[in-house]
Amino acid sequence: MIERYSTPQMTAVWSEQRKLAVWREVEILVVEAWAQLGVAPETTAASAAKAPEVDIVAWKEREAITHHDVAAFVDLLAASVGDGGEWIHYGLTSSDVLDTASGVLLKESGELLLEAVAELFDTVKEKALEYRDTVMIGRTHGIWAEPTSFGLKLANWAFEVERDHERLVDAVNGVSYGKISGAVGTYAHTPPAVETYVCGALGLNVEPASTQVIPRDRHAHFLSVIALIGSTIERFATEIRHLQRSEVGEVRESFGKGQKGSSAMPHKRNPIASENLTGVSRLLRGYASAGLENVALWHERDISHSSVERVALPDATILLHYALVRMTRLIDNLVVDTDRMLANLEATKGLVYSQAALLALVDSGLTRDEAYRLVQQNAMMTWDGEGTLLENLLNDPDIPLAEEALTSCFTPTRALRNANTVFTRLTSTVLA
């Protein structure tokens, strides 16, 4: 992933230095396991543990000869051990190292993502509670609907982030697996005790039945959850972009001193972060598609998945982490124009209270169809510029309601009188 869309924390997880360090750790743990089983000399395990990190430049030079990254790594690590170097990679196939190390890196990256999702949840929750009583227009199909509150909109977002967290916990657990079972997963040259020792030391689960590789449905699930979280971020970003439109103007991204919205038009304050995150989510869905394509491999394995994962796994986790951090910052610094929200609500001329008037007429004894037609014909007059809905209803001789009863329908607090139930649930919600 390019530096522009990266965070230092996640980039460090996927650095080549970190990758080689984990490969080394896997190899040394295998030697230790052989020593504990009495197969390798105890002194070999101690010597292997003292081996230096494999030099990246030397590794790449060696790979240019071997055309095999793990074989090149094993050559250099074994040579650095000296006496006993022959026990490095003993009984292993490359995927034992690659997939087990990948389990470590996926677990580490997943834990960073979980922290970022939790921070986003806390930020959205805090804003939801802050704006719980800030009334605004609700919109369906992009058209004025019932009144709502900005806090209620954000509460809905917060619960979606909570679900994302639950899904991600499951997905991270699903990729935190290792395997040391040999060339086709039969343990023919390495007993299960070695696998148990290595995976236990690394904090990984043991793959219950592997081929030469860990089944790729695990990785597909992980990438799919990442894509789904990206879609959550896009949902928020899309709403912010709509609310920032000049004609709406209820919410906008913060605009820093010295910032420029357009190289040509000095008045512009564009929703650049939201638009950026909308694009990022498209990439994340692409990685999920690639992960699904990786599930079907030939026989016990091929390497068609390898090139995909070298790009998709680091890029998807790095990009999602960037997106989570940026969305959290965006919401934390969001500018909310409560006066504009109220002005826009008043500009509806009471149309958003049509359902309250409808139900009041039904309560008065009219059939639903009679009540609907009466309110609708007065609402259409209002749409066409003839007074407010309340005025038109009061002037309609066919409306069997007193002025006080009708007027009581046209208050936003009435529309939100039961919404506190949502905030009670939100207040008590804490991520596991």
Which residues are part of the catalytic machinery? 141, 262
Per the structure block, which two tokens stand in for 224?
């799919």
Per the structure block, which two tokens stand in for 379?
């609402």
Query: Nearest CA to 109 among 257, 279, 251, 225?
Result: 225
Query: Nearest CA to 320 among 272, 281, 286?
Result: 281
Residue 410 DSSP class: S
> How would DSSP label each residue in 310-338?
HHHHHHHHHHHHHHHHHHHHHHHT-EE-H
> Using CA atoms in the order 118, 120, 121, 125, what is the torsion angle rounded to 10 degrees?
140
55 vs 147: CA distance, rounded Å: 63
Cβ–Cβ < 8 Å for 213, 297? yes
Q: Is 83 exposed, middle or buried (0-12, 13-18, 19+ CB in 10 A)?
A: exposed
375 vs 389: CA distance, rounded Å: 8
Query: Nearest CA to 337 among 150, 157, 155?
Result: 150
382 vs 395: CA distance, rounded Å: 12
Residue 307 parent element (H or E): helix 304-332
Per the structure block, which two tokens stand in for 289?
């598609």
Which stretches of 150-256 are assigned E, i.e. beta strand? 177-178, 205-206, 251-252
Write the CB contacts of 237 (distance below 8 Å, at least 6 apart in sequence). 271, 273, 274, 275, 277, 278, 281, 327
39 vs 28: CA distance, rounded Å: 14
Cβ–Cβ < 8 Å for 122, 221? no
376 vs 370: CA distance, rounded Å: 10
- Residue 178 backbone dihedrals phi, psi, to 5 degrees: -130, 165
Which stretches of 277-431 are assigned E, i.e. beta strand? 335-336
